[in-house]
Structure 1
Amino acid sequence: MKRIIALLLLVSGCGTPLADAAEPTYTCHDRPIPLDVMSTARPATRLGPDGRAALKGHEVRRVEDLDKWRIVEETGERVALMKEFDEPEERGSTTVTHDFLVIERFGPPAADGRPSWHLRSRGGCSLRRDLGDLGVADLALDPAKPATGNSLHLLVTERDCASGQSAAGRIRVVGLEETDRDVRLVIGVERAPGDFHNCMGNPATPYTVELGRPLGDRVPLDAGLHPPREIMTP
């Protein structure tokens, strides 16, 4: 039987394991996405009249592979579609797993008295767990400090604008679940103090997580993403 050591670590102490927590919410470009959308949602080939009209809207590029897209939302005012890539794609310094298309009615009224359909947004994203008041972060193994004893050494890079400040003292372990095969981490960052911050880029902040036993051959995973992604050296 798998030995599972599960902890929920906050600023101090521990709590319930990830498996016992309420079903988490995930987002793509800050929009909530049901996790079962790729498996149970209708394919875009079954769009109704509003959806088909939206695909012919202004600035909307032709979608050739409708059978691979799933309907996240379809109303008379908004249509949202999502497609999962066959393999994660590297775009600059970011890895994305899904393509997300949003088309909405806005602007001056058309001949029918309603605003025309226009592209609102389209772009790649990864499904990230909504951490509430905490900001998300990119995780990497610290190449200067291999795992020793029960300590797992990470580099945590805050994604929110923080005027280039270190995240030291603001990093929070939202969830830590250990099995014989892997270690699943959910890590967030408290917002930097102050009302205004520029987006000059943030430094990677060293951070150590104490495990229930040595990492060994187990794989560290960023469970703040769906599906969880292996945490690797930069």
Structure 2
Amino acid sequence: MTTPRTARLGIAVALLLCVSACGTETSGPVEATKSVPEEAEESGGPSDERPISCTGEAPGWPASAMDGGIASRLPADELTRALEALAARAGIDAPSALQDADVHEAPWFVLAETKTSVVVATGSWDGGGPGRDGEVVRLKASGAGWQVQSWGDCRNLAPVVDPGLQWVRIDAATDLDPASTEVTVEVTEGGCTSGRDPRPFLQEPTLVEDDDSVVVFWTSEAPEGANNCVGNQPVPHPLRLGEPLGDRELLDGSRWPARPVPRRR
């Protein structure tokens, strides 16, 4: 197996979440890959930022959009009408920032937009995500205007994942020899998978390495059809780094911001 290509911090944001054919079981350490992300017009932000969203659902937005929003190309009155209709219809179930308030004066802004969908933030937000009353409203194109598709809180921010894939969580790292480029990690699929072994469905992860950390972005093929939510068990799997781990921190990129991976000896 060849040494994986790794990304330095300066080009880390140019990586796509994951690439590779699916459904192939690996017998050795998994290598990292890198590629160029889609243009920002569909993600709602500049192309040099990895889009994030609630649980990784598209469309996503750059983290910077959570501090005041993006410069929307849509007429504000069209979005206002859709939010007014939501507040009137949903009543006490509407986003709290829109209840008993003039929508024109209520705190809301656009996080992301495409030709057919818009994601609106309501309530308080900052660069770290939603505040206590922060929620999202998803709109879809309907005739000459916009119609509410869904709304709710946004507590689990994650990088946007490609269609047909789902995030794999890294629960622990073992056999940590600082001089080695191979690390054993415990991986767990998200969602309902009927308790399957995830290893045959793992995609090749993307590693973003710099002098201080190694961020692992890892996905698996999402199951089709109905599946039981019996609980997904972590399984060990080897991971090959571009350079020895040393004293760098290993981070799980399945959530935003990336989270430290617990170490077990």
Same fold per superposition (TM over 0.5): yes
The structure-2 alpha-carbon separation of the partners of 1:84 and 1:151, relative to structure 1 and needing over 3 Å to count, comes to farther
1:208-219 correspondence to structure 2 within 5 Å = 208-219=238-249
8 A contact 2:58–2:160 mirrored in 1: no
Q: In structure 2, what is the Cα distance between the partners aligned to 1:98 and 1:220?
A: 32
Q: In structure 1, what is the Cα distance between the partners aligned to 2:129 and 2:65?
A: 18
> Could you tell me how far 1:177 is from its partner in structure 2?
2.5
Partner secondary structure for residue 31 of structure 1:
coil
The structure-2 alpha-carbon separation of the partners of 1:25 and 1:88, relative to structure 1 and needing over 3 Å to count, comes to closer
**More RCO (CA 8 Å, sep 6+):** 2
2:156 corresponds to 1:147: no
Q: In structure 2, what is the Cα distance between the partners aligned to 1:15 and 1:153?
A: 15
TM-score (norm 2): 0.59
Partner secondary structure for residue 88 of structure 2:
coil
2:132 corresponds to 1:102: no
**Which residue is 1:37 aligned to?**
65
Partner secondary structure for residue 214 of structure 2:
strand
Aligned amino acid, residue 162 of structure 2: L
The structure-2 alpha-carbon separation of the partners of 1:97 and 1:171, relative to structure 1 and needing over 3 Å to count, comes to farther
Q: In structure 1, what is the Cα distance between the partners aligned to 2:36 and 2:213?
A: 19
Q: In structure 1, what is the Cα distance between the partners aligned to 2:162 and 2:241?
A: 22
| Paired residues, number | 208
2:193 corresponds to 1:162: yes
> Could you tell me how far 1:40 is from its partner in structure 2?
6.5
Aligned amino acid, residue 147 of structure 1: L
Q: In structure 1, what is the Cα distance between the partners aligned to 2:138 and 2:33?
A: 40
8 A contact 2:187–2:236 mirrored in 1: yes
TM-score (norm 1): 0.65
**Which residue is 2:96 aligned to?**
62
2:212 corresponds to 1:185: no
Partner secondary structure for residue 132 of structure 1:
coil
Aligned amino acid, residue 37 of structure 1: A
> Could you tell me how far 1:63 is from its partner in structure 2?
0.7
Aligned amino acid, residue 63 of structure 1: A
Structure 2 residue ranges without an equivalent (≥5): 8-17, 39-49, 99-104
**Which residue is 2:232 aligned to?**
202
Calculate the aligned-residue CA RMSD, in Å: 4.4
Percent of aligned pairs with the same residue? 18
2:152 corresponds to 1:122: yes
Aligned amino acid, residue 182 of structure 1: S
Which of the residues 28, 34, 45 maps onto 2:54? 28
> Could you tell me how far 1:216 is from its partner in structure 2?
2.0
Q: In structure 2, what is the Cα distance between the partners aligned to 1:79 and 1:195?
A: 28
Write 1 or 2 for the structure with the bigger share of helix. Answer: 2
Write 1 or 2 for the structure with the bigger share of strand. Answer: 1
Structure 1 residue ranges without an equivalent (≥5): 90-95, 106-113
The structure-2 alpha-carbon separation of the partners of 1:169 and 1:97, relative to structure 1 and needing over 3 Å to count, comes to farther
> Could you tell me how far 1:156 is from its partner in structure 2?
1.2
Which deviates more from structure 2 when the two are superposed, residues 149-158 or residues 221-230? Answer: 221-230
